[in-house]
Amino acid sequence: MAKQPEDIVIRILRDIQSTLADNSKTLADHTKRFERLEGRLQHVEQQFDDLRKIVTYSLGQSSEVQFRQSQQEPRIDELFKQLEKLLSGKEPV
C-alpha cells in the first residue's frame, strides 16, 4: 500500500524540525564559544594597552633622563676642571 501524502508531509516536517533543533544547538554552542573568545580578546587588548602605557612611560623616562644628563654635562665638566685646578697645586698625600 502506498504511503498517504499526509504521512510524507509529516515525515518531511519532522525532518525539518529535527534539522532546526540541531542547528539551534550548533548556534548555541557557537554563541558560547564566541563569547569566550570575545572575553579572551578583551583580556589580550587590556594587556596590550597596559604594555603600551608601560613602554610609553619608560621611553618618556629614558628621554627625560637623557635630557637632564645633557643639561648637566657642561656643569659637571666645569666642576672637574675646578677640581683639577685645586688638586694640581697640591702635593699627593
Report the run of H or E that residue 8 belongs to, with start and end: helix 5-88
Nearest CA among 34, 15, 37 for reference residue 26: 34
Q: Give residue 1's pLDDT.
A: 44
Amino acid code (one letter) for 29: D
pLDDT at 83 > cutoff 80: yes
pLDDT tens sequence across 5-32: 788 999 999 999 999 999 999 999 999 9
* pTM, entire model: 0.51
CA 76, CA 81: separation in Å to the nearest integer? 9
pLDDT tens sequence across 30-74: 999 999 999 999 999 999 999 999 999 988 888 888 888 888 999
